[in-house]
Amino acid sequence: AWIGVDLVLFPGYNLSVALICDVSSPLELNSDLQSGHLSLSPNLCTIVDADYVVDISQIEAAAVQALTNRTSGRLQGKGVFSSEFLACLQPRHSIKEALATFGVKKSTTRILLVLLQTPGSSAPDFKRVNPRISGKFEDPLTLCKSCNREKISQIYGISNTEFKGFNDGERAYVLSVLTRMSASLLMR
């Protein structure tokens, strides 16, 4: 199922996000997206390796940062939302590292489809899109239960000692990721 996320800092902009598991051919799916076979704009839609995403707020933060970079003229890449979005997920904001980490690989089995809807654009017909995607649609709000914490901790430099004294370890983990995403922006 797809969920919608209103980007409050950018009125009229929304995200549609789907979590798809048991994807058998992620590179073919990415190729279909890039060639327009999925009926989604490849400039406004990206496929993310879901193993590296702990919570939907991580997706929202990266999207807001990508739009902020676009409006302030501080783009990392060619100005395409999809590559800028991936760079904003990466703690060092490197597009090359972001593609290697968050982009789909042959071994990827869980993906997030992230679609940016701009003001005035019509919503995509997901009934036409969904059958073209081989895999099982899951609830994107369950990312924390199925993400790869070892991989995420390595990418973001998170240690287990950070969570001592927290009653809600899941929330503390999400906050650690978001803190590193935002702190890296201050360091550039």
In tens, the pLDDT along 178-187 reads 888 877 655 5
Instruction: Check residues 49 and 74 and name the one with the higher pLDDT.
Output: 49
The arithmetic mean of pLDDT across residues 63-89, rounded, is 80
Q: How far apart are CA 100 and CA 84, in angstroms?
A: 14
- List the domain range (segments joined by +) for residue 95: 2-187
Q: In the numeric block, which tokens belong to residue 36?
A: 């327009």
Q: How far apart are CA 173 and CA 65, in angstroms?
A: 20
Q: How far apart are CA 141 and CA 18, in angstroms?
A: 10
Q: In b/e form, how buried is each residue of 65-100, taking b as 16+ CB within 10 angstroms?
A: bbbebeeeeebbbeebbbbbbbbbbbbebebeebbe
The arithmetic mean of pLDDT across residues 105-123, rounded, is 93
pLDDT at 45: 92
pLDDT at 179: 85
45 and 33 Cβ atoms separated by less than 8 Å: yes
- In this predicted structure, which of 119-123, 132-136, 162-166 has the lowest mean pLDDT? 162-166
pLDDT at 76: 63
Q: Residue 75: which pLDDT band, with cuts at 50, 70 and 90?
A: low
Q: How far apart are CA 84 and CA 65, in angstroms?
A: 9
What CATH number did the domain enclosing 94 receive?
A: 3.30.2380.10
Into how many domains does the chain fold? Answer: 1
User: What is the residue type of 13?
Assistant: Y
Residues ≥6 apart with Cβ < 8 Å to 9: 64, 67, 68
pLDDT at 79: 55
In tens, the pLDDT along 11-32 reads 999 999 999 999 999 999 999 9
The arithmetic mean of pLDDT across residues 92-104, rounded, is 87
Q: In the numeric block, which tokens belong to residue 64?
A: 């807001």
Q: Residue 168: which pLDDT band, with cuts at 50, 70 and 90?
A: low
Helix and strand counts by DSSP (H, E) for the chain: 8, 5
